[in-house]
Amino acid sequence: MNISVIGAGYVGLVSAVCFAELGHTVIGVDNNPEKLLALDEGKVPIHENLLPELLQRHLGHRLTFSSSISHAVRESDVIFITVGTPQSATGHADLGYVEAVTREIAKHITSMKLIVEKSTVPVRTSDAIRRTMTLNGASPRLFSVASNPEFLREGSAVTDFLYPDRIVIGVEDSFSEERLREIYSPLCDGSYYRREDLIPGCGASAAHFIVTNTNSAELIKHTSNAFLAMKISFMNAIANIAERVGGDVDQIREGVGADRRIGTSFLNAGIGYGGSCFPKDVLAFRAVAREVGYDFDLLDAVMRINKDQRHQFLRKVRDALWTLRDKRIAVFGLAFKAGTDDVRESPAIEIVEALVNEGCLITAYDPVAMPRALSELGLRVGENTVRMASDPYIAAEDVDAVLILTEWNEFASLDLPRLHSQMRLPVVIDGRNLYRPEVMEAAGFVYYSVGRAAVF
């Protein structure tokens, strides 16, 4: 199949590379010239496991990049839209990029195409795409619009794409369904995951292929993200109660998660969700509900608990250090989660900014997110209140406390005696519960975590 993917960001680039991996001929389109230059040279502009290897494998063969939507439309049967849908000032998803791309596609369409929205969009966006296509001169006989929400997670995006639990397509006609079935058939009939020479099979099995109408597919994506965000906030609320009464959130998770109706996944207490998806998608879903006349105030609580979780963490830092002005603090982790260099809406960045505002001097370390964090924190770095270190032990030199803010494996296997010897005061405040309190106590640390009693 000839495919183009418009928007070569986290989702678009992974999709383009993986569609090539599945045997399709793919054009990745972006309007960022620097990104295109890097990609043409085989350089991946983001940190994502396995992406460089797959790019190398397919670049120049089944995969090319272009800045031209007209070229992509001409050469493809199926056009995926994967541009950003950021939060607008009103809390709605800003669909400006999706609209701009749709108008551009409409201008160049001369033969039958399938347009697939893969970006996360509010319900009924596919109707708006259809309308916009027609208004901009495309004959309704020359296109179909389908929805195919993406569920990959940054940090494991390639394996999530190639070994998904499910593929959801929202269609209004058999033409769209047939095309999308054909595109994804290697993931559903077993022909991809059985090829051991490629990416080791992750114990994968055939993906569940779910066909719905377009409105349901759009709702499935918002529902999934809102539900996962709710699980996180729910467990953080439980952690706050456990902490106050001498409970242990790890034990609670085990006891609750053993119920198969509940399960243990996504029930880790911490400093709250962040990233470029959950915060904006929960807010956008709240706006959608309001617009259709339903007061989905459960989502307000999810967002409030999440925001408050940062404050709860900062309160612990104050408890541990008393006053904050001129305190030296090492921060382990800046990415919003492990496995990525993405710092968009990262709780770690928010916490660093709050501590800087209170007069702390920060030395931060992250295995891959420091360059992006530097530009996010910009001015702060200039003021010399935030410095980056080349490893965690250097970051911890002479500090009053270490804060663990991202759940990188590297931070879960620190050389504890070495860390202890580096620090001025042996205080660790762990926002990701990477250690058992008794282990840290035995290693001589004052240790605060989330939903468990502090040890001194």
Residue nearest to ligand NAD (CB): 9
Among 3, 5, 6, 324, binds ligand NAD (CB under 6 A): 6
Number of residues that bind ligand NAD (CB under 6 A): 26
Toward ligand NAD, which CB reaches closer, 84 or 170?
84
**Which one, 66 or 433, has the nearer CB to ligand NAD?**
66
Contacting range for ligand NAD; rule: CB under 6 A; set: 81-89, 128-136, 174-182, 329-337? 81-89
CB of 275 to ligand NAD, least distance (A): 7
> CB atoms < 10 A from the CB of 328, how many?
18
Residue whose CB is less far from ligand NAD, 79 or 399: 79
Which residue in 83, 287, 317, 334 binds ligand NAD (CB under 6 A)?
A: 83
H helix and E strand count, the chain = 18, 14
For the beta carbon of residue 359, count every other beta carbon within 10 angstroms.
12
**In the bound complex, what is the minimum distance in angstroms from residue 227's beta carbon to ligand NAD?**
15
Tell me the Ramachandran region of residue 403: left when phi exceeds 0, alpha when psi lies from -120 to 50, beta otherwise.
beta
Q: Which of residues 13-72 bind ligand NAD (CB under 6 A)?
A: 29-32, 35
Are 72 and 35 in contact by the 8 Å Cβ rule? The answer is no
End-to-end CA distance of the chain: 62
276 near ligand NAD (CB under 6 A)? yes
Residue closer to ligand NAD, measured from CB, 235 or 283: 283
| Annotated active-site residue in 18, 188, 277, 360 | 277
* Torsion sign (Cα): 236, 237, 243, 245: negative
Residue 152 as a binder of ligand NAD (CB under 6 A): the answer is yes
Site for ligand NAD in 93-112 (CB under 6 A): 97, 100-101
274: contact with ligand NAD by CB under 6 A = no
Q: How far apart are CA 43 and CA 296, in angstroms?
A: 43
* Inter-CA distances, 228 with 30, 151, 168, 215, 233, Å: 30, 12, 17, 20, 9
Residue-by-residue DSSP string for 78-131: EEEE-----B-TTSSB--HHHHHHHHHHHHH--S-EEEEE-S---TTHHHHHHH
Q: State which residue, 21 or 341, has the beta carbon closest to ligand NAD.
A: 341
Asked if 455 touches ligand NAD (CB under 6 A), the answer is no
User: How many whole angstroms separate alpha carbon 208 and alpha carbon 201?
Assistant: 16
Q: Is 82 in the site for ligand NAD (CB under 6 A)?
A: yes
> Of 162-221, which residues contact ligand NAD (CB under 6 A)?
none
> 226 is written with which tokens?
């809102």
> Of 302, 299, 305, whose CA–CA distance to 240 is shortest?
305
CB closer to ligand NAD out of 52 and 257: 52
Give the C-alpha separation, 74 to 76, whole Å.
6
Tokens linked to 63:
């995969």
Quick check: 422 binds ligand NAD (CB under 6 A)?
Answer: no
Judged by CB under 6 A, which stretch of 80-88, 140-148, 212-220, 317-325 contacts ligand NAD? 80-88
Min separation Cβ 263 and ligand NAD, Å: 22
Neighbours of 258 (CB within 10 A): 10
Residue number with CB closer to ligand NAD (97 or 447): 97
Q: How far is the CB of 368 from ligand NAD (least distance, A)?
A: 15
Give the orientation angle of helix 298-321 with respect to helix 347-357, to 10 degrees.
Answer: 50
Catalytic residue flag (residue 277): yes
C-beta separation of 28 from 51 below 8 A: no
- Determine if 154 is a binding residue for ligand NAD (CB under 6 A): yes
Is 243 a residue that touches ligand NAD (CB under 6 A)?
no
Which amino acids are annotated catalytic?
A: 277
What residue ranges bind ligand NAD (CB under 6 A)? Answer: 6-12, 29-32, 35, 82-85, 97, 100-101, 119-120, 150, 152, 154, 276-277
